[in-house]
Amino acid sequence: MRAIRKTIQLLSLGAALLIGQTAFAHPKLLSSTPADHAQVSAPERIELRFSEALVKQFSGANLLMIGMPGMGDHGPMKIAATVAPGDDPRTLVVTPAKPLSPGSYRLEWRAVASDTHPVSGRISFQVK
Protein backbone atom coordinates (compact mmCIF):
# COMPACT_ATOMS: atom_id res chain seq x y z
CA MET A 1 0.00 0.00 0.00
CA ARG A 2 2.85 2.34 0.84
CA ALA A 3 4.51 1.71 -2.53
CA ILE A 4 1.26 2.50 -4.36
CA ARG A 5 0.80 5.73 -2.41
CA LYS A 6 4.40 6.74 -3.13
CA THR A 7 3.95 5.99 -6.85
CA ILE A 8 0.75 8.07 -6.98
CA GLN A 9 2.50 10.98 -5.25
CA LEU A 10 5.42 10.86 -7.70
CA LEU A 11 3.09 10.71 -10.71
CA SER A 12 1.07 13.65 -9.35
CA LEU A 13 4.22 15.68 -8.80
CA GLY A 14 5.45 14.90 -12.33
CA ALA A 15 2.10 15.92 -13.84
CA ALA A 16 2.08 19.18 -11.86
CA LEU A 17 5.59 20.01 -13.06
CA LEU A 18 4.65 19.35 -16.69
CA ILE A 19 1.49 21.46 -16.44
CA GLY A 20 3.44 24.24 -14.74
CA GLN A 21 6.05 24.29 -17.50
CA THR A 22 3.35 24.53 -20.16
CA ALA A 23 1.69 27.43 -18.37
CA PHE A 24 4.95 29.40 -18.33
CA ALA A 25 5.99 28.61 -21.90
CA HIS A 26 6.76 31.54 -24.18
CA PRO A 27 6.35 31.64 -27.95
CA LYS A 28 9.50 30.67 -29.81
CA LEU A 29 10.21 31.46 -33.44
CA LEU A 30 10.23 28.10 -35.23
CA SER A 31 10.81 29.30 -38.79
CA SER A 32 10.70 32.27 -41.11
CA THR A 33 10.21 32.75 -44.82
CA PRO A 34 12.63 33.99 -45.96
CA ALA A 35 14.95 32.22 -43.55
CA ASP A 36 17.31 34.19 -41.34
CA HIS A 37 20.42 35.29 -43.32
CA ALA A 38 18.92 34.14 -46.66
CA GLN A 39 19.58 35.77 -50.03
CA VAL A 40 16.30 35.94 -51.94
CA SER A 41 14.39 37.66 -54.73
CA ALA A 42 12.05 40.33 -53.36
CA PRO A 43 9.50 38.47 -51.22
CA GLU A 44 5.86 39.50 -51.51
CA ARG A 45 5.43 38.63 -47.84
CA ILE A 46 7.51 37.60 -44.86
CA GLU A 47 6.09 34.87 -42.68
CA LEU A 48 7.07 34.06 -39.10
CA ARG A 49 5.90 30.78 -37.54
CA PHE A 50 5.87 30.45 -33.75
CA SER A 51 5.50 27.59 -31.28
CA GLU A 52 2.25 28.96 -29.83
CA ALA A 53 -0.85 30.85 -30.91
CA LEU A 54 -0.23 34.60 -30.76
CA VAL A 55 -2.32 37.35 -29.22
CA LYS A 56 -2.62 39.49 -32.34
CA GLN A 57 -3.25 42.83 -30.62
CA PHE A 58 0.08 42.58 -28.77
CA SER A 59 2.22 40.94 -31.47
CA GLY A 60 3.85 42.84 -34.31
CA ALA A 61 6.90 43.56 -36.42
CA ASN A 62 8.91 46.34 -38.07
CA LEU A 63 10.63 45.90 -41.41
CA LEU A 64 13.85 47.91 -41.80
CA MET A 65 16.24 48.38 -44.71
CA ILE A 66 19.77 48.40 -43.32
CA GLY A 67 21.92 48.46 -46.46
CA MET A 68 21.79 49.20 -50.20
CA PRO A 69 24.08 48.07 -53.04
CA GLY A 70 26.73 50.71 -53.65
CA MET A 71 26.00 52.47 -50.37
CA GLY A 72 26.96 49.79 -47.87
CA ASP A 73 25.34 49.66 -44.47
CA HIS A 74 23.45 52.71 -43.27
CA GLY A 75 21.13 53.64 -40.47
CA PRO A 76 17.92 51.58 -40.44
CA MET A 77 15.13 52.96 -42.64
CA LYS A 78 11.63 51.78 -41.77
CA ILE A 79 9.80 50.17 -44.70
CA ALA A 80 6.02 50.57 -44.96
CA ALA A 81 4.38 47.19 -44.42
CA THR A 82 1.23 45.67 -42.98
CA VAL A 83 1.48 43.15 -40.18
CA ALA A 84 -1.33 40.66 -39.70
CA PRO A 85 -1.94 37.21 -38.25
CA GLY A 86 -1.76 34.38 -40.76
CA ASP A 87 -4.36 31.68 -41.35
CA ASP A 88 -2.67 29.68 -38.60
CA PRO A 89 -2.88 31.54 -35.24
CA ARG A 90 0.82 30.74 -34.69
CA THR A 91 1.81 32.75 -37.77
CA LEU A 92 2.55 36.44 -38.25
CA VAL A 93 2.65 37.80 -41.82
CA VAL A 94 4.42 41.01 -42.87
CA THR A 95 3.48 42.36 -46.31
CA PRO A 96 5.61 45.21 -47.70
CA ALA A 97 3.55 48.07 -49.20
CA LYS A 98 5.66 47.90 -52.39
CA PRO A 99 8.26 45.49 -53.81
CA LEU A 100 11.50 45.47 -51.85
CA SER A 101 14.53 46.95 -53.62
CA PRO A 102 17.84 45.08 -53.64
CA GLY A 103 19.57 45.49 -50.30
CA SER A 104 19.85 44.20 -46.73
CA TYR A 105 16.80 44.01 -44.49
CA ARG A 106 16.07 43.30 -40.85
CA LEU A 107 12.69 42.29 -39.47
CA GLU A 108 12.30 43.00 -35.75
CA TRP A 109 9.39 41.07 -34.25
CA ARG A 110 7.49 40.94 -30.97
CA ALA A 111 5.33 37.94 -30.09
CA VAL A 112 2.88 37.57 -27.22
CA ALA A 113 1.03 34.33 -26.49
CA SER A 114 -1.59 33.50 -23.89
CA ASP A 115 0.91 33.85 -21.03
CA THR A 116 1.11 37.60 -21.97
CA HIS A 117 4.90 37.61 -21.71
CA PRO A 118 6.37 39.48 -24.71
CA VAL A 119 9.24 37.82 -26.55
CA SER A 120 11.17 39.64 -29.25
CA GLY A 121 13.79 38.86 -31.83
CA ARG A 122 14.96 39.63 -35.33
CA ILE A 123 15.80 38.01 -38.61
CA SER A 124 17.80 39.48 -41.46
CA PHE A 125 17.90 38.74 -45.15
CA GLN A 126 19.19 40.16 -48.40
CA VAL A 127 17.20 40.92 -51.52
CA LYS A 128 19.21 40.40 -54.70
pLDDT tens digit string along 98-110? 999 999 999 999 9
Residue 80 lies in a domain: yes
More confident of the two residues 81 and 24: 81
> Residue 96: what are its φ and ψ, rounded to 5°?
-60, 145
Residue 93 lies in a domain: yes
The tens digit of pLDDT for each residue in 51-68 reads 999 999 999 999 999 999
Strand ranges across the sheet with 46-50: 29-33, 46-50, 91-96, 81-85
Residue 82 lies in a domain: yes
Looking at residue 47, its amino acid is: E
**Pairing state between β 103-111 and 91-96:** unpaired
Q: Give the domain range for residue 114.
A: 27-127
Asked if 84 and 106 touch (Cβ cutoff 8 Å), the reply is no
Asked if 83 and 93 touch (Cβ cutoff 8 Å), the reply is yes
